[in-house]
Homo-oligomer: A and B are copies of this chain.
Amino acid sequence: MDTREKAVEAKEASIRLAAIPGNVKNKALAEVAHALEQRQADILAANRADMEKAQSENLASPLLKRLKFDEGKIKEVCDGLHSLIGLPDPVGQTLSAVELDEGLELYRVSCPIGVIGIIFESRPDALVQISSLCLKSGDAVLMKGGSEAANTNHILADIISQASVDAGIPQGWLNLLEARSDVAEMLGMDEYIDLIVPRGSNEFVQHIMQNTNIPVLGHADGICHVYVDSHAEIDMAVKVTVDSKVQYVAVCNAVETLLVHQSIAEAFLPKAKEALEANGVELRGCARTTKVIDVKAATEDDWSTEYLDLILSVKVVDSLNEAIDHINRYGSGHTDVIVTADRSNGIKFMDYVNSAGVFMNCSSRFSDGFRYGLGAEVGISTNKIHARGPVGLEGLVIYKWRLMGSGQTVTEYSGDGGKTFTHQQLQKDFE
């Protein structure tokens, strides 16, 4: 099948998948987990082939690490499938119910979005996580994985597809795209694809966003901030800053800029410098920072740079308002943290900082679907509509308006003497 045929098949499957009950989807997820365990030897062999090719091509060691899919990873994704089974079905939930008039009832009921196009990096576990989230949310998927993982992705997609179809999920709900040209073709298929979720580098996601009319859910930059308020506890501020920067440095929810209230700078900065440098972090400070601690000078560019590395820019600000303005100007709307013992300052920060995640007194690294309890995530969104922050099952559904009548016409409700609407909330679900 070519890419278009796969997309047509996915679209057709999506219509039928939308009406598949939750217990069938859960049965299919259990069968997928079972099949992954049964076919472990084949999966490991396929992954060895990918790893050998990657090593022969001298792939960098972090990439090799992401590519590796061993017994531990198989166990992890199977555990993930079982927790997903335990989550409620996101489809068929009555979101609102209102009587428009006697015998005329309006229900807003959740339903799948349709066909999701996913473009993901080289981690094969992402294929399992994302496809299983889509299955549970009733969405068909077209997936394009990294070419380094071609063999592993191919066998994983085969196993998931076969096990789920055997359990009653419509054929064609999952299709793997394998050619590099498939990405460009996906971007033009707005007739068949309802949403694109790109995962990858900043440049890659920007490229996707600028080259399609299909809605894109994702994030390019992750320029996160920690703001240490005048009322911060110094030890907590140091601990939260260090964790936000170094716990996993190459990810979008790591902090890139530290903002410090001027009244606390002299007490806080030397301790922060010591702790950060002990973890190998290079600091780049504004003019006021370099008066307090001996660090390299920051330039204007530093405020809008996502280092993804052991580098942290530092700026001293005059006020909470200046910190908020700085974040709203230079940030990427991903996740921003205030450390303060003054709750009203914390709430003000959360009200005015225009980001998907606004945190008080904890690490920016908590911004993650698993930690949020969403099961897993298809990605993190810095969009301002539909879904923001870690996107789990809820971000993969939308709703239909279901109106149940008994022959009503709008003419009856029009003009002088027309009937009037009751608009009474109903305390019942659609069934």
Known: A360-B403, A400-B356. A15 touches B243 (CB 8 A): no
In angstroms, how far is the closest chain B Cβ from the Cβ of A186? Answer: 16
Among A50-58, A289-297, A408-416, which stretch is in contact with chain B?
A408-416
In angstroms, how far is the closest chain B Cβ from the Cβ of A104? Answer: 6
List the B side residues contacting A399 at CB < 8 Å. 388
Q: Is A113 an interface residue (CB 8 A)?
A: yes
Q: Is the CB of B388 within 8 A of A398?
A: yes
List the B side residues contacting A404 at CB < 8 Å. 346, 359-362
Cα(A361)–Cα(B355), bound, Å: 44
List the B side residues contacting A386 at CB < 8 Å. 385-386, 398
Q: Is the CB of A362 within 8 A of B215?
A: no
Which of B360, B384, B409, B423 lies in contact with A114, CB distance below 8 A? Answer: B384
List the B side residues contacting A14 at CB < 8 Å. 354
Total count of chain A residues near the partner, CB < 8 A: 74
Known: A403-B362, A404-B361. A15 touches B352 (CB 8 A): yes
In this complex, the member of A233, A351, A355, A423 whose beta carbon has the largest number of chain B beta carbons within 10 angstroms is A351
List the B side residues contacting A247 at CB < 8 Å. 409-411, 414
Among A69-77, A307-315, A365-373, which stretch is in contact with chain B?
A365-373
Q: Is A405 an interface residue (CB 8 A)?
A: yes
In angstroms, how far is the closest chain B Cβ from the Cβ of A328? Answer: 6
List the B side residues contacting A114 at CB < 8 Å. 354, 384
Q: Is A389 an interface residue (CB 8 A)?
A: yes
Q: Is the CB of A401 within 8 A of B383?
A: no
List the B side residues contacting A240 at CB < 8 Å. 407, 409
Which of B365, B371, B423 lies in contact with A373, CB distance below 8 A? Answer: B423
Q: Is A100 an interface residue (CB 8 A)?
A: yes
Other A-B pairs beyond A362-B405, A373-B423, 7, CB < 8 Å: A14-B354, A15-B328, A106-B372, A247-B409, A357-B400, A384-B398, A389-B400
Which 10 pairs show the lowest CB-CB distances between chains A and B? A362-B405, A243-B409, A365-B410, A373-B423, A386-B386, A19-B351, A236-B407, A194-B384, A359-B403, A361-B405
Between A and B, 13 residue pairs with Cβ closer than 8 Å are A14-B354, A98-B372, A242-B409, A243-B409, A356-B400, A356-B401, A358-B400, A358-B402, A360-B403, A360-B404, A362-B409, A371-B421, A385-B398
